Structure 1
Amino acid sequence: MGIWHEGQRLGHTTPQQRSVLSALLLNSNQVVPVESMVRALWGEKPPNSARNAVQGYISKLRRILDRFPESEITTHPQGYSLGIDKEQVDLHRFRRLVDMAQNADAVTACELLDEALDLWHGPPLSGVAGQWLPSTAGTYMEEERLSALEEHATATLEAGRVRDAIRELTSLVIEHPLRERAASLLMTALHRSGRRGDALTVFRDTRRHLVKELGIEPGSILRNTHQQVLSDFPGVLRRGVRTPQEESTGVSA
């Protein structure tokens, strides 16, 4: 998490300053209460000097943001807001590109999602102070990234690049064995490549992980794909599908 201008990282920011900046960027052009920043920095036990410290972090950020005349931190009675063109914020650009991909043809969707995923540089909200932002906003942001990877794999399959899809999805399923949609997509890709037995193995492995770690049986998406593979039905691909476990990605700091 940082500030870049013409390819160069600006200023030496502390984890505390990055937490304040993250709260402002997550809620671009909206007022963020000081209390929210205090909670992000220190949790439920802030020091007596917390509000003064936040003012100091804001002052430092204002000096760094002088390079961006179109961006300004404004003081309000209840907190601060960062007025900024959302195209300057990687997270907002990522979301716009993902939205555009939903209504694009498969080849264009792959290109848009490639561009969106290239904006990620490590875990979300890395380097901020405290655990509140990473455990709330960071969790939702990571879910958005993983969903975009699944959308990319779906578009790749739609474009007929089955081997590429298998490679993408195999890595994703290994890293995240509880993601039912990723497993479903991998089963579909393997089935389409003539690897019916491997597709059924993916189902068995995923079901075992779900039962062992979460105590649940596979959901409808994975069960339907399992039936399609058993009956040698090619299945229908749909972008924008979410499993019941996936939550809303709206976050307010």
Structure 2
Amino acid sequence: MSEPEPGGFRLTLLGRTVVEAGGRRVRPAPLTAAVLIRLAVAGDEAVTVDELYRDVWDPAARTVRREDRVSVQKRILELRRLLDPGRPGETSTVLSTERGRVSAYRLHLAPAQVDVLEFHDLVRRAQHTDAATAAELLARALSLWGGRPLFDAEDRAFAAEPIRRLHLWHGSARRDLVDVYADLGRPRAALDVAVPLAAERPDDAELAATVAALRGRLRARTAGLLRRDFAAPPTSVVVTSGDLFTEDDAHLVAGFTDTFDTATDGDLVINAGSVQGQLLHRLYGGDRTRLDRDLRGALHGLEPVAVEKRSAKRHGKLARYPLGTVVPLRRGGRLVFAAAYARMGNDLVARSSLPELRAALRRLWAAVETHGQRRPVALALPGTGLSRVDRPFDELFAALVDSFLDASRNGPIASQLRVVVPPADVERYPLERMAAYLHALPDRPHAVTGPADRAG
């Protein structure tokens, strides 16, 4: 996002209205924000006082009285103080007055000063350049999209058509970025854009075919790192490099903390790049209200073991559930098992230990056996992320496989346990030691004897 020029300002309208000026970020009052949006969507056209009053205050007003015009003028004064504090009156060069039978106001904006205009400018430029430059321009344009466009005026009739057009441009930019990434030989990046778009457009057969083709290209490129098939139970353990969220044939596991926090704002409570953060943004489209509603429904009937006071835990949720609590969330024809592996400290640091992780895994496999219908289960290696289990990766892998095979001793609970490693992290994994452990297991392990501290 562009920064305001020294002495200038920057408007955010793709989401909640924000004015950045003089090193400050200000959220105008709702009516002031609505007036600002009305002037902004007018482009280079002037808007009369009467039009502003009817569009923002009272669409049914047959006449606009003097006191109504005064209400508009007060908001214009507020905007001038925000946007042009050196010239807050009629001498303003940012928000000018045009005299006539009825006074009118015109907002003078450059693309760099307002995200809506910058978004349009970047998308237009991307349509007339090479693929690599187009990818950069479209990614920048989409990064500006911070929420529902023209949020502070979305309930007013004048905003309906601009909002509709913005959504069309947004969808078109996302679709173009999918094609550009595919042309550049970047199927993973293309899928990151295409999958949520396809979820929003279930009837778009062409887009569905594009997603399938991209996944085929990615599978051809992504080699399995490690595999072991077992005869009894009839199952397999696979380690592969790829994107957990594109493993469409498998149920997923997402690690949570005992508070089931979901907020990723500023990475303060939950890191947006974690599996849990990606669950919110990729499978729920960033709709935290919906994810929280699904979690509440799945946790219904489970009693918290404690409820923190807000004075002790300043951010996030307060109710604590037993460590190892597992709830299934249904998304797009598969399940996501939300598993509380770690405890969330009041300092917002998640912590766990190997014994606690093993106990949580036992409860995870019980839930998989109940709900999973023996489909493959894909997950990141538990304990390697922000849950801070301070043990070597191969020991965590052994604990995971041990618990899975132990839970399967009376019959397979899943046809495959699939550990998905992000490509950028492969070098951190001691694959040779992991392979040595896995291939040393008997072909018919049934109940597996694990490390000495397994019972801990």
TM-score range, shorter chain: 0.5 to 0.7
C-alpha separation in 2, matches of 1:84 and 1:121: 20
Is the alpha carbon distance of 1:94 and 1:19 closer, same or farther for their aligned partners in structure 2, counting shifts above 3 Å? same
Which residue does 2:45 correspond to in 1? Answer: 30
Tell me if 1:97 matches 2:138. Answer: no
Q: Please, what is the CA RMSD of the aligned residues?
A: 2.6
Contact map agreement 1:24 1:32 (CA 8 A) in 2: yes
C-alpha separation in 1, matches of 2:180 and 2:80: 42
Mark the structure with the bigger radius of gyration. Answer: 2
Q: Equivalent residues in 2 for 1:21-100 (5 A)?
A: 21-46=36-61, 48=65, 49-67=67-85, 71-76=93-98, 77=100, 78=102, 79-100=104-125
- AA aligned to 2:33 is R
Which residue does 2:149 correspond to in 1? Answer: 124
TM-score normalised by structure 2 residue count? 0.38
Is the alpha carbon distance of 1:157 and 1:57 closer, same or farther for their aligned partners in structure 2, counting shifts above 3 Å? same
C-alpha separation in 2, matches of 1:65 and 1:18: 12
- AA aligned to 2:96 is T
Structure 1 gap ranges (5+): 196-253
Q: 1:104-160, CA deviations, whole angstroms, 9 ceiling, x for partnerless residues?
A: 211211110111111121100112374224422222212211211111111111112
Which residue does 2:28 correspond to in 1? Answer: 13
C-alpha separation in 1, matches of 2:200 and 2:22: 34
- AA aligned to 1:66 is D
The structure with the greater share of residues assigned to strand is 2
Is the alpha carbon distance of 1:100 and 1:126 closer, same or farther for their aligned partners in structure 2, counting shifts above 3 Å? same
Contact map agreement 2:190 2:214 (CA 8 A) in 1: no
Is the alpha carbon distance of 1:6 and 1:55 closer, same or farther for their aligned partners in structure 2, counting shifts above 3 Å? closer
Give 1:184 deviation, angstroms.
1.6
Give 1:43 deviation, angstroms.
4.9
Is the alpha carbon distance of 1:27 and 1:97 closer, same or farther for their aligned partners in structure 2, counting shifts above 3 Å? same
Higher normalized contact order (CA 8 Å, seq sep 6+, divided by chain length): 1
Contact map agreement 1:110 1:155 (CA 8 A) in 2: yes
- AA aligned to 1:121 is G
The structure with the greater share of residues assigned to helix is 1
C-alpha separation in 2, matches of 1:88 and 1:191: 40
C-alpha separation in 2, matches of 1:155 and 1:9: 35
Name the SS for the 1:3 alignment partner. strand
Mean CA deviation greater in 155-164 or 96-105:
155-164
Structure 2 gap ranges (5+): 1-16, 218-456
Give 1:194 deviation, angstroms.
3.8
Which residue does 2:198 correspond to in 1? Answer: 173
- Would you identify which runs of 4 or more consecutive aligned residues in structure 1 move more than 6 Å? none
Which residue does 1:138 correspond to in 2? Answer: 163
Percent identity reads 30
Q: 1:63-94, CA deviations, whole angstroms, 9 ceiling, x for partnerless residues?
A: 11125878521112241101232321111111
Query: How many residues were matched structurally?
Result: 191
C-alpha separation in 2, matches of 1:189 and 1:129: 32
TM-score normalised by structure 1 residue count? 0.66
Is the alpha carbon distance of 1:6 and 1:190 closer, same or farther for their aligned partners in structure 2, counting shifts above 3 Å? farther
Give 1:164 deviation, angstroms.
2.5
Q: Equivalent residues in 2 for 1:86-235 (5 A)?
A: 86-128=111-153, 130-178=155-203, 180=204, 183-191=205-213, 193-194=215-216
Is the alpha carbon distance of 1:67 and 1:190 closer, same or farther for their aligned partners in structure 2, counting shifts above 3 Å? farther
Is the alpha carbon distance of 1:44 and 1:68 closer, same or farther for their aligned partners in structure 2, counting shifts above 3 Å? same
C-alpha separation in 2, matches of 1:125 and 1:81: 18
- AA aligned to 1:184 is E
Contact map agreement 1:65 1:71 (CA 8 A) in 2: no
Q: 1:176-211, CA deviations, whole angstroms, 9 ceiling, x for partnerless residues?
A: 335x3xx4234134236548xxxxxxxxxxxxxxxx
C-alpha separation in 1, matches of 2:206 and 2:50: 43
